[in-house]
């Protein structure tokens, strides 16, 4: 199922969109708070963001800037602001599409799939070389072009770190996210697995430490 985050303060519109897209196997998580939206992006893996521009707390154009500091998630602007300058600034700051309100939900569904298709095609055509740090498939992870020999638990933890790169992940989240770590496992076991992962990454690139401790939280992969 496609996972979409919507930052939209029109709760009635958000509910209509959520119900409609669910019938197309698209699950929407909605918040009317830009700060909550930014937080959710560090807590869960989303495939796409639908972003209003006129929001409480922070303008949507500023939200795009903050997101692009750490994430390349596709962004569709959904806004009643029809000033061409807003559209130009939104796309210039990193949005992938701009859909003016009001619109038919069918058009939004089509645009979501179009943006994701373009993103997928772009990734498939991207050459594989050592400047790409991590390549992940269903069973292996390559780091700087070299396949890492990982246990199932190590794979789960490193994949979660890659998915949430440049953000902190708690030790508890590692346990809950892995099917190969017992829920009753000691948090110290996570520290041991992290230590092994650091060693395996260092065997390929010893010039820097990619997995860093985040005080009071857990660990993060910072690239």
pLDDT tens-place string over residues 94-132: 899 999 999 999 999 999 999 998 877 655 554 444 456
Strand, helix or coil at 161?
Answer: helix
The residues with which 218 forms a beta bridge, in sequence order, are: 170, 214
Residue 121: its pLDDT value, please? 67
Task: Report DSSP letters for 97-146, one per residue.
Answer: EEEESS--HHHHHHHHHHHHHHHHHHHHTSPP-TTS-EEE-SS-EEETTE
Query: Which pLDDT value is given to residue 177?
Result: 84
> Is domain 2-124 in CATH 3.40.120.10, yes or no?
no
In terms of Cα–Cα distance, which of 171, 162, 214, 215 is closest to 193? 171
pTM for the predicted model, two decimal places: 0.57
List Cβ neighbours of 142 (8 Å cut-off, separation of 6 or more).
Answer: 134, 135, 136, 148
For residue 77, what are the β-bridge partners? 51, 98
CATH number of the 134-221 domain:
1.10.10.10
Mean pLDDT of 24-32: 95
Q: Which two tokens stand for residue 95?
A: 């949005």
Q: What is the per-residue pLDDT for 204?
A: 92
Domain boundaries, the chain: 2-124, 134-221
Local confidence band at 58 (pLDDT 50, 70, 90 cut-offs) = very high
CA distance 111 to 117: 10
């Amino acid at each position: 199922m496609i996972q979409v985050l919507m930052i939209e303060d029109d709760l009635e519109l958000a509910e209509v969109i959520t119900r409609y897209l669910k019938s197309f196997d698209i699950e929407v998580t909605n918040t009317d708070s830009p700060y909550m939206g930014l937080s959710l992006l560090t807590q869960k893996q989303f495939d796409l963001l639908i972003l209003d521009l006129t929001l409480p707390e922070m303008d949507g154009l500023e939200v795009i800037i903050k997101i692009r500091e750490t994430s390349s998630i596709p962004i569709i602007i959904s806004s009643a602001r029809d000033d061409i300058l807003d559209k130009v600034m939104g796309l210039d700051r990193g949005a992938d599409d701009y859909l003016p309100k009001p619109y038919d939900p069918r058009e939004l569904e089509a645009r979501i799939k179009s943006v994701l298709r373009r993103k997928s095609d772009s990734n498939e055509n991207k050459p594989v070389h050592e400047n790409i740090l991590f390549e992940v498939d269903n069973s292996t992870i390559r780091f700087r072009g070299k396949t890492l020999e990982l246990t199932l638990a190590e794979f789960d933890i490193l994949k979660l770190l890659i998915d949430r790169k440049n953000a902190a992940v708690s030790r508890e989240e590692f346990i809950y996210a892995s099917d190969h770590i017992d829920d009753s496992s000691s948090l110290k076991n996570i520290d041991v697995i992290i230590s092994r992962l650091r060693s395996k990454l260092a065997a390929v690139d010893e010039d820097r430490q990619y997995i860093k401790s985040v005080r009071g939280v857990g660990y993060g992969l910072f690239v």
